[in-house]
Structure 1
Amino acid sequence: MKRIYEELKTCLHVYWQATGIGLLLLDESGAAIDYFGNPNDYCDLIHQNQEQFLRCIKVHKMLGPEAEKMGDCYFYGCHGNMMHFSIALVDQGKYVGSVVAGPIMADYPSAASLDEVIRNCEVPSGCRSLFLSAMQNIQVVEPERMYYLGELLYHLVNHLLSGEDLQIIHRHRDKRRQQELIGEAIHDLKIRNADEQDELRRRETMRSMQERQEQDLSDMIEEGRLEEAQDILNDILGGIYFSSGNTDLIKLRINELITVLTRRMIQNGADADRVHDLVAEFQKQSAESRDVEELSFGLSQLLPRLIDMLQDESIQELSEPVRRSLEYIHRNYRSQITLEQAAFYAAASPTHYSRLFNADMKVGFSVYVNRLRVEKAKELLRETTMTLSEISQSVGFSNQQYFSKVFKSETGSTPGQYRRMQDGS
C-alpha cells in the first residue's frame, strides 16, 4: 500500500468532501490507518463498550477480503443498523487492505427498531437521547444513490492500482457477475419446467432449446456481437448447470459445446489450425480444473478471441460502404432486408451501392443474401431437429417453397435431401 498511500489519501479526502460520507482506511490485518470525515458520535457511543468496538472491527476486517474476492464494492449492514460499503486494495496480486465507507442509513428507523439497536449494542439507557441525536446526523441515502456512491469509490480507488492488479480485480468482478446471470438463467429454467411432469418430454424440450441457443451463439460470434454472445452463453451454461448433476458431467457438456462451436467456426471460414490451437488451450485448462465457475468464466473469455479470429480471417479489401453494409446484412438476414435498406445503412445511394457491392463481392446483393441464408439453413439442418418450415422462417425466407427452390439452386439438393445425407441415411 505504501506505493499508492499518498495519492490514495488525497482521493479519499476528495471523496469525503464531495459526498459527506466518512471513510476508514484499513490495512490487511484490519487495523485502522487513517480516517477521513467528521467525528462520528453515533459509532463513538457504541464503541464506549469495548466488546462492541471489537465487534465492529471484526466485521470490517472480515469483509475487506470478501470485497477482494468479489472484485467489487461490497455493501453490508452492521449490528448498529447502519449501512457500509467496502473496496479492497490489491498490490502485486495480494490483498493489502480496504477502504470502508459509512455509516449511512437507507431509511429512518422506527422507534421500535431504534430500541432494538440500543439493546443489541448495549448502549446505556441514559444515553438514549444522545444516541437519537447522533443518529439524526447520519446521512439517509436511497438505494440507487448508494449504488452509485459505491461505484464512484470503486473507480476512484482502482484507478490507482497497477495494470496487473486492476486486471485481477476486474476478473473477479466479471466472474461474479457471470455467475449471477447464470443463476438467473437457472431460476428461469426451474420456473419454466416446474409444471412439466414427463421427464422425457422435459429433456427433449431442453435439448431443442439448447440447439437453438447454440445456433444463436454461433451467429453472434460470426457477426462479432460479443455482448449478445455473452448473454446467450450464460443462458446455455445455466441450462447445463440445471440439467447436469456433477462437476464431471458439467465439464463434459461444456466440452461438447466447444466442439459444436469449433465445427461451425471452421465451416464459416476460420483457420482450422488456429481454432484447434485455441480450443486445445482451453480444454487443457478444463482438464486440470475442478472449479466450474472458473471454467465457465474461461469459456466467456474465449468468445472475444474467437470473434477476433473470425474477423481476422474475413478481412478483405472492401470499400467502406460495403464493409458497413455487411455488418447490417449479417445482423438482419432473418428479416426481409432490401438493397435500399442496406444502401441507407451504408450511407450510399442504391445505384452507387449496388455497383460497389457487385464489384467487391463478385455477386449481386440478392444472390449474396440468399447464399448467406442457405449457409445458415445448412447449419440448422445439420445441428438441430427444427422442421423445414421453422428453418425457412428462421433464416429469413418468405415461404418454404421459395426456400426449397433457392436451396436446391445453391446446393443441388432439396433441404430434406441435404438433411438425410448429413444423417447418413
Structure 2
Amino acid sequence: MGELEKELSYREYVLREEYTLHAPYNPEMEFYNAVKSGDIIAVEKFLQVPFCEKEGLGTLSDNDIQNFKYHLAITAAMLARNCIDNGLEHEQAYTLSDLYIKRADKCKTLSEISDLHSKMVINYTKKMREQNTHAIYSRHIIQCINYIYDHMHERITLEEIAADVNLSNSYLSRLFKKEMHMSVSEYISRKKIETAKNMIDYSEYSITDISSILAFPSQSYFVKVFKQYVGLTPGKYKRQAKSLAS
C-alpha cells in the first residue's frame, strides 16, 4: 500500500457524515450534558429505557431497524460534537463516532442496536470522566496532541512535532514528559495502538492493512508493540473480540 493509498484509506476510515437531531430539546440536552460531565450514574438512568423503545425520535425510514440505525448515527455524531465542546480531542471523538456507526450497520435486530447504543454512550461518558479529571494542559501540549491525531497515518517524529509547535526538541520533550507523564514516543505508540484496537473491533481492515495504515515500519514491529500494550498479539485480540461479540 503506497503512501497516498494509506492516507486515503485512513481518511476514509475517519470520514464523518453531517446529521441533524430531531428529538425534543430539553431531555436531549440533559442527556448530552450528563455525558459531557462524565456523570455515569445520571447516564445510566437515561439508558434504563432501551434506545429502540424511546419515543419522539421521528421516522427516518419505514424499516424499524434501519430507522434506529439512522438515529444511532445521529446520536454518535452529536456525542462527538458535545464531547469536543467539553475538551475531548476531536480526532478521538470523531473516530469513536465513525466506529460505532460502522458497527451499527452490522446490527440485525433492535436489541443489538439498543445494546450498541448503550455501550457507545457509556464509552463516551467514561472518556469524558477521564478527560475531566486530567489537569489542564498547556497550549503547546494541546497542539502536540492534535498534531499526533492529525498525522496518525504517518510516521511521526519528535522533530516534526517540535517544528510544528515552534519549540526546540529538548524543551518539548521535557514539557511533554512533565505534563503527560510519558515521553512523546510512548504517547504516539499508545494512541496508535488504541486506534488499532478500535479498527480491529469495528472495521473490516486486516491486521496487515492496519499496520500499514498506521505507518508502523513493519508488521512484526506492529505485533510487538501491540502485544506490549495489550498483552495479546493483534490476531489473538481479534479472535477474542469476535468470540465475545458472537
Q: Give TM-score scaled by structure 2 length.
A: 0.55
SS of 1:424's equivalent in the other structure is helix
Structure 2: how far apart are the matches of 1:319 and 1:214?
31
Name which of structure 1's ranges 302-311 and 343-352 shifts more when overlaid on structure 2. Answer: 302-311
2:84 is matched with 307
Deviations, residues 84-117 of structure 1 (Å, cap 9, x unaligned): xxxxxxxxxxxxxxxxxxxxxxxxxxxxxxxxxx
| 1:308 alignment partner AA | D
Pair 274,402 (structure 1): closer, same or farther in 2 beyond 3 Å:
farther
TM-aligned CA deviation for residue 392 of structure 1 = 0.8
Match of 1:325 among 136, 144, 147: 144
1:287 is matched with 55
Structure 2 unaligned spans of 5+: 1-9, 20-34, 62-66, 89-127
Deviations, residues 54-101 of structure 1 (Å, cap 9, x unaligned): xxxxxxxxxxxxxxxxxxxxxxxxxxxxxxxxxxxxxxxxxxxxxxxx
Checking the alignment, whether the CA contact within 8 Å between 1:321 and 1:346 is kept in structure 2 is: yes
TM-aligned CA deviation for residue 302 of structure 1 = 4.6
2:153 is matched with 334
Structure 2: how far apart are the matches of 1:419 and 1:298?
28
Deviations, residues 171-213 of structure 1 (Å, cap 9, x unaligned): xxxxxxxxxxxxxxxxxxxxxxxxxxxxxxxxxxxxxxxxx99
Q: How does 1:19-38 map to 2 (within 5 A)?
A: none
Checking the alignment, whether the CA contact within 8 Å between 1:282 and 1:298 is kept in structure 2 is: no
SS of 1:398's equivalent in the other structure is coil
Structure 1: how far apart are the matches of 2:80 and 2:191?
22
TM-aligned CA deviation for residue 320 of structure 1 = 2.5
Structure 1: how far apart are the matches of 2:175 and 2:236?
36
Q: Matched residues, percent identical?
A: 26
Task: Count residues with an aligned counterpart.
Answer: 167
SS of 1:366's equivalent in the other structure is helix
Structure 1: how far apart are the matches of 2:146 and 2:42?
24
TM-aligned CA deviation for residue 298 of structure 1 = 5.7
2:176 is matched with 357
Q: Which runs of 4+ in 1 moved over 3 A?
A: 212-215, 270-287, 293-303
Task: Please give the root-mean-square deviation of Cα atoms over the aligned residues, in Å.
Answer: 3.7
| 2:203 alignment partner AA | T
TM-aligned CA deviation for residue 418 of structure 1 = 1.1
The structure with the larger Rg is 1
Match of 1:388 among 203, 207, 213: 207
Pick 1 or 2: higher relative contact order, CA cutoff 8 A, min separation 6: 2
| 1:383 alignment partner AA | Y
Q: Give TM-score scaled by structure 1 length.
A: 0.34
- Higher strand fraction: Structure 1 or Structure 2? 1
| 1:287 alignment partner AA | E
2:100 is matched with none
Q: How does 1:177-326 map to 2 (within 5 A)?
A: 216=14, 232-234=16-18, 272-273=40-41, 283=51, 287-292=55-60, 299=75, 300-309=77-86, 311=88, 313=129, 314=131, 315-326=134-145
